[in-house]
Structure formats: structure tokens, C-alpha cells
Chain A
Amino acid sequence: MKIDWAALGSVFGVSLVVTVALVGLFTLGIVGLSKRERATAQGGSAALAVSGAYACFALCAAAVGYGIYLIVA
């Protein structure tokens, strides 16, 4: 019996890293956007936080696109 420990190990590692990275990015995006609401409520702007947030969302969207590519390919 040959168990492919290397494949299992890489599934473990990749899943952990990708999940945590994606969830972290997305949360940063959400927090960034919520800063804008607070800022506009106080009459200011939070341009840096907002553009950072959109960058995070773009990365997440790219990950989803790559996921679809993996399914189709």
C-alpha cells in the first residue's frame, strides 16, 4: 500500500495558507470599507482605507476566478 503523504501534506498546507490568506484579505477589505462609513459620518474621507479595501477585494475576486479556472480546466 502506497500512501501519497506528499500529496496529502501539500493539500494540508495549501488549504491552510490559502484559506487563512483569503479570509484575512476579505476581512481587511470589509474593515476598510466600514472605515469609510465612519469617516463620511464625521465629514472626512478615508481614501487610503477604501483603495486598500478594493485592492483586497480584487485579490479575492482573482482567487475566485482562479477557482473557476481550476474547475473548468
Chain B
Amino acid sequence: MEHITLLLGIVIVTALVFDFTNGFHDTANAMATTISTGALRPKTAVAMSAVLNLVGAFLSVEVAKTISGGIINEEGIRTEVIFAALVGAILWNLLTWLLGLPSSSSHALFGGLIGAAVMSAGWSSVNGSTVVTKVLIPAVAAPLVAGLAAALATRLTYRIGSRADDKATAPGYRAGQIASAGLVSLAHGTNDAQKTMGIITLALVTGGVLAPGSNPPVWVIASAGIAIALGTYLGGWRIIRTMGKGLTDLAPPQGFAAQTSAATVILASSHLGFSLSTTQSCSGAVMGAGLGRKGGVVRWSTATRMFVAWGLTLPAAGLVGAGAELLTKQGTWGVILTGALLVVGSAVIWGLSRRQPVTHDNVNDVGEVDGGSDAGLDAVPADAVTAAITDDLKATIPAQPGASPEPAKTASV
């Protein structure tokens, strides 16, 4: 560890911060429905998910060899590019958390990587067809598969269970739901903590600390696991509220069907060679379970906002990643400035979230707000958020032309 430079140190810390945001962003996937149907109390649910994420991080030894799975050309990738990508991904994760919108953390990371790689080495560094096959098609397929499965399962369970008394069956459904949620948490820890391990290992290799092809050191595995578990335990309550209460109303049988569908889709997809996003599968499953019940409704305004966030994830994280890469290109001061902007941006978002905090105490209280679908958005005035975004973008992007040492000759062409 003696050769770790300042830049490498910053990248490792940033990767762990991303891991942390990944944890609290994705708590909702496993636990939102578990909390909203009352299967587990909020604090118990996030604690269980955190432990399983930590266990998951240590379970598998096969660490991601690439961080982007071929979306960008990672040969000779500079450490600054990884850093810039992480900045884009973290800010997008925080912003969607502020709005209470579930969105894929992996897609945010891909977006950041694409933006930073394009800024660093041009469009040729991005593999366009891989973007389509690994991001766009799964983004459409995941909610469809999980939604359809959950809708059919919900219909079936109501048909079979109609002869039994609701009160007698609810504890059973809740137990089943907890098991499914546990599987989702475990799978999440294994997949996503490994992504961070992959990033840190790649950075260490790029920085010459580790030999190429070596396995991650134990401290990398442990810190990645702990970061994701801490994030999970903190709980992204805003997103949990949207997923558990905002999209639809779930009774125990629906929660069970939704969570089982999500767990099945996640495991089936990652082992049949067509990876689907956890977040998108879970959101789809929740909506499917909502529609599968007779008289069930999905609040399409919330769903639409979520779809828009999915569509924006890649370009938005990419834009921030590109801006950050433009800054880090300028040298050490650029890297430090980017780090400072990341801290300021995160602080602003956190500050905005304090205006109307969502915690484990009020995560299930949506009823009193008419059109509770606005769970997350109500919390913050839209213009304040837009101001925050433009602040971030202004801070990262237009700062360049003045700061850049090159003459602006492109302007005269």
C-alpha cells in the first residue's frame, strides 16, 4: 500500500462512496415491499438487508474483470477517467434519491464511464452496440418480464387463496416475502459490491500497485462489503416509499408475488447470460403485482416519472462524468476541484433532502397526502431541484472554457 498516490487514494475513496450510494439506493429493491406490507419493521428490514449484502460481498470469489462489461474500451484507461465516471454516477444516484426515484446504479456508473471515456479518448472508445444490448434492451425487458411474472403470480395466488381467510394467510405470505427479499439482498451484495471491488482493483492495477490480473486484496473486499452494507442500513427511505407505497398499494399476497418474481428474474437473468437490472426488475414486479389484483391500480404519474429517470440516467450521468473528466484532465488541481465539487454537490442534495426528511418513522405514511404518488417529489420544490442540477452542471461544465489552457480555436472554425 506504500505506493498509493493522492489520485489513487481519491479514486478508492470515491469508489467506496459510490458503493455506499449504491447500497442505500438499492435497499428499496429488496425491502420496499417488505416494509410496505408490514412483513418486517423498517429498521429490521434494512438491518437484515445490510447483513445479507455484507455476506454477499464475501460469498463469491469471481470478481468482475471489467467494470463496464465491454461498454467502453478499458485498455489503457486512466485513473482520472474512473474517478470522473464515479463522480457522475454518485451525483445521479443522489439526485434520483432526492426525488425518490428508483433507478439503476449500474446504469449510472455506465453513463459516467461513457461520458468520461468520450471526453478522454473520443467516441471511438464507446462500444455502441454493447450499449444497446447491455443497457437499452435490458432496460425495456426487465420491467416487462418481472411485471408479467408478478401479475400472473398475483392473479394465481388470489385465485387459489380466495377460499382461505385473509387474516390466517397474511403471516404466511409475509414469511415467504421475507425469504424472497433475502435472496434479492444476497444477490445484490454479491453483484454490486463486486463491481466496486473491480473498480478499486482496476485502479490499483492502473496505478501500478497491483500486478495486472491479480485478485483484490482482502482490505478491498472488506471495505467494499462494509460500504455497501452501511449504505443499505442507512436506507434510501425516499426510494423505499416510492417503491413500496407510491407506485401501487400492495397487500401481503401481492408483496410476496412481486418479491418472488423479482428474485426469480434477477437470478434467472444473471445465470442465463442476459443480465437484467435489479432495480428495473423490482419496479416492474411491483407494478405487475399492482395490476394483477382485481381492481388494483398503478399510479402512472409516479411510474412515468420513474421511466423518465431511467431514460435520463445514461445521458445525465454521462454529462456529469464528461464534465468531471474535462476538469481532471487539467491536472492535480482539476482532480482536487472535481473532488471538492462532488462534496459540495452531495452536500447541497443532502441539504435539500433535509427540508422534508423521509425516515424509517414516516416511510409508510403516504395516505394523508392527496395523490401520495408524489411521495418523493412533494418533499422538494421542483425549481429548487432544477436549480441544484444546473448548479452542479454549471459548476462542472462551463467552468472549463476559462480554465482551459488551450485557446478556443474551435469557435472560429
Which chain A residues have a beta carbon within 8 Å of chain B's beta carbons?
1-4, 7-8, 10-12, 14-16, 18-20, 22-24, 26-31, 33-35, 37, 60, 64, 67-68, 70-72
Residues of A contacting B172 with CB < 8 Å? 26, 29-30, 33
Which of the segments B196-204, B265-273, B374-382, B391-399 contacts the partner chain? Answer: B265-273
**Could you tell me the distance between the alpha carbons of A1 and B145 in the complex, rounded to whole angstroms?**
23
**Could you tell me the distance between the alpha carbons of A29 and B172 in the complex, rounded to whole angstroms?**
9
Pick from A3, A7, A22: contact of B260, CB below 8 A.
Answer: A22
Residues of A contacting B160 with CB < 8 Å? 24, 27-28, 31
Residues of A contacting B257 with CB < 8 Å? 19, 23
Residues of A contacting B176 with CB < 8 Å? 26, 60
From residue 185 to 202 of chain B, which have CB atoms closer than 8 A to chain A? 186-187, 190
Are B161 and A16 within 8 A (Cβ)?
Answer: no
From residue 109 to 167 of chain B, which have CB atoms closer than 8 A to chain A? 129, 132-133, 137, 141, 145-146, 148-150, 152-154, 156-157, 160-161, 163-165
**B131 nearest in chain A by CB position:** A1
Q: Tell me the smallest distance from the CB of B40 to a CB of chain A, in Å.
A: 17
Which chain B residues have a beta carbon within 8 Å of chain A's beta carbons?
56, 59-60, 129, 132-133, 137, 141, 145-146, 148-150, 152-154, 156-157, 160-161, 163-165, 168-169, 172-173, 176, 179, 183, 186-187, 190, 253, 256-257, 260-261, 263-265, 267-269, 271-274, 276
Interface-centre pick from A1, A19, A29, A68 (highest chain B CB count, 10 A): A19
Interface of A is mostly: helix
Q: Tell me the smallest distance from the CB of A12 to a CB of chain B, in Å.
A: 5
Q: Tell me the smallest distance from the CB of B321 to a CB of chain A, in Å.
A: 24
**Could you tell me the distance between the alpha carbons of A14 and B276 in the complex, rounded to whole angstroms?**
14
Are B133 and A4 within 8 A (Cβ)?
Answer: yes
Are A27 and B161 within 8 A (Cβ)?
Answer: yes
Q: Tell me the smallest distance from the CB of B12 to a CB of chain A, in Å.
A: 26
Pick from A8, A34, A64: contact of B183, CB below 8 A.
Answer: A64
**Could you tell me the distance between the alpha carbons of A60 and B165 in the complex, rounded to whole angstroms?**
22
Residues of B contacting A8 with CB < 8 Å? 137, 141, 274
Decide yes or no: A67 and B272 within 8 Å by CB, A1-B132, A26-B176 being known contacts.
no
Q: Tell me the smallest distance from the CB of A7 to a CB of chain B, in Å.
A: 4
Q: Tell me the smallest distance from the CB of A31 to a CB of chain B, in Å.
A: 5
